[in-house]
């Protein structure tokens, strides 16, 4: 991609299509800019796809990534080496307590989860089969994020933990009150045992003062002809500066 094309994307255009485009990535970055987000906490970073996407579409704030799998974490460290605004936390999973937890490592690393796969996911996505179970460090987000945050930081939390999102939020503690917004993967059809569904998560976020700003399509299963997951971007209306 040329410098001109990257600059055009920054303003929501895609020169390769020769028309104005507002893909979800550009819309997401527009929301972050509207709320003057200065730091994105990237929980469940995997190989850094989310952080790299934010940079490609023009987000210039700091990014702090959290990832428990050793190989993925090593890749994160390498990819962030040339970006002084992208920090990689020590290898850990994020949840509601401190200690250790067993992670089911999938053949597709971004499908790995602390929660067991449902029979449905095993049937429709055999490529996501569990290869092994691995003990990984577990920390609360409130404690893990604190060293990276300045007092006046405008914080956006992204969570992609394959059904473990409520536990991540449960460990946010006092950090929840500081969040300007968050993005999390939500399930329309359970893919992991015990995960909270879309409707219940909507209610929890509304009770915490978050309003829906953007929905991004996720896992669509052609065998079922159905959307299984989506990402929701939620912001606090009172959070933008006057």
The answer to the question of residue 45 being in a domain is yes
Place of tokens 């606090």: 236
Query: So what's the pLDDT on residue 19?
Result: 43
The answer to the question of residue 49 being in a domain is yes
Counting the structural domains of the chain, the total is 1
pLDDT (tens place) for every residue of the chain, 242 residues total = 566 666 666 555 555 544 454 699 999 999 999 999 999 999 999 999 999 999 999 999 999 999 999 999 999 999 999 999 999 999 999 999 999 999 888 888 788 888 888 888 888 888 889 889 999 999 999 999 999 999 999 999 999 998 899 999 999 999 999 999 999 999 888 888 989 988 999 999 999 999 999 999 988 888 888 888 899 999 998 655 54
Backbone angles phi, psi at 134, to 5 degrees: -135, 135
Query: So what's the pLDDT on residue 127?
Result: 86
Question: What range does the domain containing 228 cover?
Answer: 23-96+137-235
Which pair of tokens denotes residue 155? 């914080």
Specify the CATH number for the domain of residue 189: 3.40.50.150
The answer to the question of residue 155 being in a domain is yes
The answer to the question of residue 230 being in a domain is yes
């Amino acid at each position: 991609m040329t410098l001109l094309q990257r600059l055009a994307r920054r303003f929501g255009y895609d020169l390769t299509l020769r028309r104005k485009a507002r893909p979800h990535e550009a819309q997401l970055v527009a929301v972050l800019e509207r709320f003057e987000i200065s730091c994105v906490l990237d929980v469940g970073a995997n190989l850094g796809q989310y952080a790299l996407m934010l940079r490609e579409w023009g987000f210039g704030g700091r990014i702090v990534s959290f990832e428990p799998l050793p190989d993925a974490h090593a890749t994160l460290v390498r990819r962030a080496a040339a970006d002084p605004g992208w920090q990689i936390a020590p290898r850990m999973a994020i949840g509601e307590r401190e200690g250790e937890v067993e992670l089911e490592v999938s053949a597709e690393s971004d499908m790995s989860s602390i929660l067991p796969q449902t029979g449905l996911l095993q049937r429709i996505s055999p490529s996501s089969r569990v290869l092994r179970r691995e003990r990984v460090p577990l920390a609360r987000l409130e404690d893990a994020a604190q060293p990276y945050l300045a007092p006046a930081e405008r914080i956006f939390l992204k969570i992609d933990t394959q059904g473990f999102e409520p536990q991540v939020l449960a460990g946010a503690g006092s950090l929840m009150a500081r969040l300007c917004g968050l993005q999390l993967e939500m399930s329309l059809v359970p893919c992991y045992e015990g995960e909270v569904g879309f409707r219940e998560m909507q209610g929890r976020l509304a009770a915490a003062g978050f309003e829906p700003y953007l929905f991004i399509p996720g896992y669509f299963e052609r065998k079922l002809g159905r959307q299984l997951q989506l990402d929701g971007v939620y912001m606090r209306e009172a959070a933008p500066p006057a």
